[in-house]
Amino acid sequence: MDIQFPMLQVMDPNGQITASEYKEKITEELARKFYRQLVRIRLFDRKAVSLQRQGRIGTYAPFEGQEASQVGSALALNESDWMFPTYRDHGAAFVFGHALRNILLFWNGRNEGCVPPAGKKIFPPAIPIATQIPHAAGAALAEKKKGTNHAAIAYFGDGATSEGDFHEGLNFASVFKAPVVFFNQNNQYAISVPMTKQMNSKTIAQKALAYDIPGIRIDGNDVFIVYFETLKALERARKGEGPTLIEAVTWRYGAHTTADDPSKYRSQVESNNRRLETDPILRLERWMKNEGLYDEKWVSEVESEVTQEIEKAVEEMEDFPPADPANIFDHVFAEPTWQIAQQKEEYLRFIGGEGR
């Protein structure tokens, strides 16, 4: 399967272009656009971990190490496309135009955090594993039936491919040629279980064979190949040729969530080595230096601007009006059932009396 589904790459860890057919497509403007977004979401991720440690947000799912997969794929989308993220794809959502304040509100347990800016089709982050995959297939089919040129992308991890929803979503999309890209970030661990213990498949891309759709395996730390292959898959979807499964092989440096200790099940030496050898930002920096395009002053300006943007979003999140716990009863059904109405009434009596 490694022969049938080879790891595609444009830029190696030393920043050298290994696929000459892409060389003319890689411009300074494109590289700078990628670099800004890579730095933007990494600094946000580190800030979010810090906020959690200080008790200013709740449990958080970090993604440091997976930035190229999220940036390259999100930038390939059109403004009118759909995005179906998991709980680890807030970097992609941020790049696609989600409000950073709302992303932080989500991690602070607020319903408002699930609301994207007007006009953006960003589904609320899926916490249950793989449930967003059939949703993405359905939304894509709806766009096809409406005659639009809009596509959808569904993000998920390697563990999600062991769930029934994954197979149902791919089967449905394959049968009806739904314009959807199934984007797997294979960080090689489903929580604490390595890929070798959760499946006998040598690759995730090969799972596309069962549904007679293209399965592509790419270097998920190479932002160039992620971008170009996602673009290709989206173009195929828009032409009515159906879905594509992309396996982006990457690595998450830190914990599954801030409630996890990865040292219990994974070598931290390997993570440290990968940070030095295959890091997506370091790789792009090496390419820029090889091309004589790396500008320390510009990089410093980017980091400063992004830091200010993040700090402003944190202030906005913390200045947000306090949540009303009674809201939990208002969004269970379109119209409250008598049981829900009764529970809300009892809650309001409780906080208005001895429960206050």
For the residues of 188-233, what is the DSSP string, one character each?
SEETTEEHHHH-S-S-SGGGGGGGTS-EEEEETT-HHHHHHHHHHH
Instruction: Report residue 271 as tokens.
Output: 């993570």
H-assigned helices in 253-337: 268-277, 280-290, 296-318
In the annotation, is 211 catalytic?
A: no
CATH topology for 20-322?
Answer: Rossmann fold (3.40.50)
- The per-residue b/e assignment along 203-223, b for 16 or more CB within 10 angstroms, e otherwise, is bbbbbbeebebbbbbbbbbbb
Residue 78: other Cβ atoms inside 10 A? 10
| Whole-number pLDDT of residue 355 | 46
- What does the alpha-carbon distance between residue 103 and residue 106 come to, in Å, rounded to a whole number? 5
42, 256, 266, 283: the active-site residue: 256
Q: How many degrees, rounded to 5, is the angle at CA 217 between CA 214 and CA 222?
A: 130
236, 252, 266, 283: the active-site residue: 252
Percent of the chain with pLDDT over 90: 88
Q: How many degrees, rounded to 5, is the angle at CA 30 between CA 25 and CA 33?
A: 165
pLDDT tens track for 12-69: 999 999 998 998 899 999 999 999 999 999 999 999 999 999 999 999 999 999 999 9
Q: Is the dihedral of CA 235, 236, 242, 244 positive or negative?
A: negative
Percent of the chain with pLDDT over 70: 99
Q: Beta strands 180-186 and 152-157: pairing type?
A: parallel
- What does the alpha-carbon distance between residue 268 and residue 253 come to, in Å, rounded to a whole number? 8
In the predicted model, what is the mean pLDDT of residues 193-205?
94
- The CA radius of gyration of the chain, in Å to the nearest whole number, is 21
Q: Calculate the CA 347 to chain-centre distance.
A: 37
pLDDT band of 120, cuts 50, 70, 90: very high
pTM over 0.75: yes
- pLDDT tops 70 at residue 354: no
Q: How many degrees, rounded to 5, is the angle at CA 267 between CA 161 and CA 189?
A: 5
Q: Where along the chain do its domains lie? A: 20-322, 324-356
pLDDT tens track for 142-170: 999 999 999 999 999 999 999 999 999 99
Closest to 97 (Cα-Cα) out of 37, 30, 157: 37
In the predicted model, what is the mean pLDDT of residues 71-82?
98
In the annotation, is 286 catalytic?
A: no
| Whole-number pLDDT of residue 356 | 44
- What does the alpha-carbon distance between residue 223 and residue 157 come to, in Å, rounded to a whole number? 18
- What does the alpha-carbon distance between residue 223 and residue 235 come to, in Å, rounded to a whole number? 18
Helix (H) or strand (E) holding 342: helix 338-352
In the annotation, is 265 catalytic?
A: yes
